[in-house]
Amino acid sequence: MLTLHTLIDGPAPIDGELVLPFHLREKSRLRAALASGEEVAVLRPRGTVLRGGDLLRGDDGRVVRIVAEAESLYTIAHADTTGLVRCAFHLGNRHTQAQVGNGWLRIRADPVLKEMLIGLGAQVSSETAPFEPEAGAYGGGHHHGEHGTHPLAPVPLRQKIHRPSDLA
């Protein structure tokens, strides 16, 4: 079985494609099948998030392109910026993963969240598209400027917890 483990930058001859929904692209250990049907193991450092277009090199030197699978999503728009920010706040308050675009948000389809968003005055439309949510402040991952993504913060190995007694 081919083991994919090394993320590479830059162009390379592509030997296969691995089509995955976002919830599987978040996993650091995964058994899957290429579009050709060949079984592969994906072994990445904990906290790694694979994005559509990423290239992984296997133990035999072959390169596989990651393809973001289309998923059932809601795209959220609002008549004014404050309303859209309010929607983003309420989604974040529920720890909902969200993709942020120019004047829109995108989340996984969830009828309960849809009802909440409509109650906030949002227009919510269903669609099937690749899902590339924000990684969050400690989301890890990597940055490819050509994909139009934002730089991501590294995953901290140890977070210092500040207590009032530390100030004394």
The dihedral through the CA atoms of 23, 25, 26, 29 has a sign that is: positive
Give residue-wise pLDDT tens across range 44-72.
Answer: 998 889 999 999 999 999 999 999 999 99
Q: Is the pLDDT of residue 153 over 60?
A: no
Q: What is the CATH number of domain 2-68?
A: 2.60.260.20
Pick from 44, 47, 71, 46: which is nearest to 55 by CA? 44
The tokens describing 152, both together, are 């991501």
Pick from 67, 19, 63, 27: which is nearest to 43 by CA? 27
Model pTM score? 0.77
Domain ranges of the chain: 2-68, 70-130
Task: Work out the percent of the chain whose per-residue pLDDT is above 70.
Answer: 81
- Does 1.10.10.10 match the CATH number of domain 70-130? no
Q: Is 76 helix (H, G, I), strand (E, B) or coil?
A: strand
| Helix (H), strand (E) at residue 5 | strand 2-8
Q: For residue 135, what pLDDT band results from cuts at 50, 70 and 90?
A: confident
Q: Is the pLDDT of residue 1 over 80?
A: yes
